[in-house]
Amino acid sequence: MSHNTALATVHPLPARTGVRGGLSHRALAMLRAIGAGRAQVTCSSEPDLYVDGVPCCDQFTAHALAHQGLVRPRYPGVVGQRVPAVLTPEGLALVAGEPVAA
C-alpha cells in the first residue's frame, strides 16, 4: 500500500445522498473556490487549505479532498509553503456536475 493510499483510507469523506459525487455542500463549495482561483494549499502530506488568504474552517475535509485526488498544488514547493491550489480533472468534473468514475 502506498503512502497516499494509506492516507486516503484514513480520511474518507462521508457519502452524502443527493449531493454531487457524494460530497457535502461544504466540500463542493471548497472545490468551487479552488476552481475560481481563490485558494492556496500548503505543501505537505496533510495539505491545509486557505481561501482568500484565510485558513479554511474544515481542514479535515480539505485533507480528504487532496487525498482523494480532487485537489493538488499548482506547482511543487518546500514543505509548509503555500502555493496556489488547482482542481484535478476529477475535481473539475465534480464542480461541473459531470459524472465521475468511482
The whole-number average pLDDT for the span 7-27 is 63
Domain residue ranges of the chain, discontinuous segments joined by +: 3-96
30 falls in which pLDDT band (50, 70, 90)?
very high
Which SS3 state, helix, strand or coil, does residue 82 take? strand
pTM over 0.75: yes
- As beta bridge partners, residue 40 has 50, 84
Which SS3 state, helix, strand or coil, does residue 25 take? helix
pLDDT score of 5 more than 50: no
CA 94 remoteness from chain centre: 11
Q: Which tens digits make up the pLDDT trace of 56-87?
A: 999 999 999 999 999 999 999 999 999 999 99
67 phi, psi to nearest 5 deg: -70, -25
